[in-house]
Amino acid sequence: MKRVELVFIPTPGMGHLASTLAFAKHLLDRDDRFSITVLVMNAAFAPTNHSLVQSIAASDTRVRLIHLPQADPPPKELFFKSAEKFITESVENYRSHVKEAIINHVLSTSLPLAGLVVDLFCSSMIDVAHELGVPSYVFFTCNAASFGFMLYLPTRHDQFGIEFRETDPESVIPSYVNPVPPGALPSLVLNKEGGYISFVNHGRKYQEADGIIINTFSELESHAVSSFFNDGIPPIYTVGPMIDLKDKTPSGDNQAKHEIMKWLDDQPPSSVVFLCFGSRGSFGEPQLKETALGLERSGHRFLWSVRLPSRDDGLARATDAENLEEILPLRFLERTRGIGMICGWAPQVEVLAHKAIGGFVSHCGWNSILESLWHGVPIATWPLYAEQQTNAFQMVRDLGLAVELKINYRLGSDVLVMAEEIENAVKCLMEGDSEVRKRVKEMSEKSRLAVIEGGSSYASISRLIEAMMANVTVPAK
């Protein structure tokens, strides 16, 4: 069959754009019949770093990027009431730009359009696919259990009609093995300012897609994946772990990376606990003091990425800390010299791959979980926002692949995670040949087998390609 075109529509923000490009390139590597166009939005909540996007695009000329005109953003006040609602409305405002770009730059070419691949926040673009008469596929960058939760939301809403409450009983959600307590639910489903209802609507819209592509593998989430075998759910394709193992060091951070890796080279194997909380993960002074005391009392070597809350309007990422001597406990840096290293930004993938790393205190973002499992590094859970609480719950309670530091912690909470809790979690994570460590090593092997020929994800991508090719139509122009 001759070549076909796919259009990818990622949510603005480098995390979503980078994972979209990684999956797009993987499809191109698997089948040279595809030509791929990525539509890039430049939204207020995640201004696009054009130079970085261009460098990514230049690394693979098979992917064409089209930068869309700026769309009017929702009122900024909405972001502080509900970030999820703000992002959803921001994306919806791009619908006309998306449709025009496809008509003018994709349908005008000689290649038939095989479909639109839309990010989890871009469910409104499924309507654009309907209008153009082409298939749509959701690229779900979180895990299968979270997708099951999204499918559960409309059913629950039809029954109760209101948001979740912190006083609710545990929820029986088909994609989780155990009932989920309200403290482990994402903050957005407690949100009465539009966050909850926006995700109810996303969950409904996903069911109109022609397929759901999830960055997971069936051996990891067998229960969640098996829960989808019901009428009315689009075909599910597990294609993970889709992680970027290449060096992504920003040009200004090469010296920092060199110092980190040099320090790790001097440490014994599996002796260092790594603390890192993602691009938006940050803590105030009181929590940093408790964390420092907990690390010191644990007696273990540590590499700690310390970030402070942004000083601007809250839309930006966390910032590197300065004047640590004034923030951390008196003489902490002096007492831990030689056994601990504190950094700002950290090259997470390269650190997790280092032989010196024995444990990972993580915010439980899904990409971070997949990276830690790939490298066989067990996690102590410290979720902050988004779906990280349910990720932590699943990893600890359902899968037995992590140590519980916290499950119900939320960013911005007045509650401090105390030094004793951190000390105990680090000791549990780092000491002895625990059952969790054994299970993580086994899952590491399974993650690597899943993506090679004969593996579950490899086979799932083959089925996806077959479905995409079978669904190709030539829409009227």
Domains of the chain: 4-240+451-470 (3.40.50.2000), 252-444 (3.40.50.2000)
Percent of the chain with pLDDT over 70: 92
Residue environment code for 336-356, b if the CB has 16+ CB neighbours within 10 A, otherwise e: beeebbbbebbbbbbbbebeb
Question: 433's torsion region: left (phi>0), alpha (psi -120 to 50) or beta?
Answer: beta
Look at residue 45 and tell me whether its pLDDT is greater than 80: no
- 338 token code pair: 């030689």
CA distance 382 to 379: 9
CA distance 298 to 430: 10
Mean pLDDT confidence for 324-344: 94
CA distance 87 to 121: 7
Could you tell me which of 172, 176, 126 has the C-alpha nearest to residue 148? Answer: 176
pLDDT at 477: 47
Q: 243: Cβ–Cβ under 8 A, 6 or more apart, which residues?
A: 22, 349, 367, 370, 371, 374
The strand pairing partners of 137, in sequence order, are: 117, 211
404-448: pLDDT as tens digits: 999 999 988 889 999 999 999 999 999 877 899 999 999 999 999
251-293: pLDDT as tens digits: 667 899 999 999 999 999 999 999 999 877 889 999 999 999 9
CA distance 253 to 15: 18
Cβ-based burial of 51 (10 A; exposed 0-12, middle 13-18, buried ≥19): exposed
Q: Position 111: which residue type? A: L
pLDDT at 409: 95
Q: 262: Cβ–Cβ under 8 A, 6 or more apart, which residues?
A: none
pLDDT at 441: 97
Cβ-based burial of 162 (10 A; exposed 0-12, middle 13-18, buried ≥19): exposed
Percent of the chain with pLDDT over 90: 79
What one-character-per-residue DSSP string does 354-367 give? STTEEEEEE---HH
pLDDT at 14: 73
The strand pairing partners of 361, in sequence order, are: 275, 380
Give this prediction's pTM.
0.94
- 43 token code pair: 């939204």
Could you tell me which of 269, 215, 268, 221 has the C-alpha nearest to residue 242? Answer: 215
**DSSP symbol at 132:** H
Mean pLDDT confidence for 129-141: 97
Cβ-based burial of 322 (10 A; exposed 0-12, middle 13-18, buried ≥19): exposed
81: three-class secondary structure by DSSP: helix
Cβ-based burial of 331 (10 A; exposed 0-12, middle 13-18, buried ≥19): exposed
Q: 213: Cβ–Cβ under 8 A, 6 or more apart, which residues?
A: 23, 117, 137, 138, 139, 140, 237, 239, 464
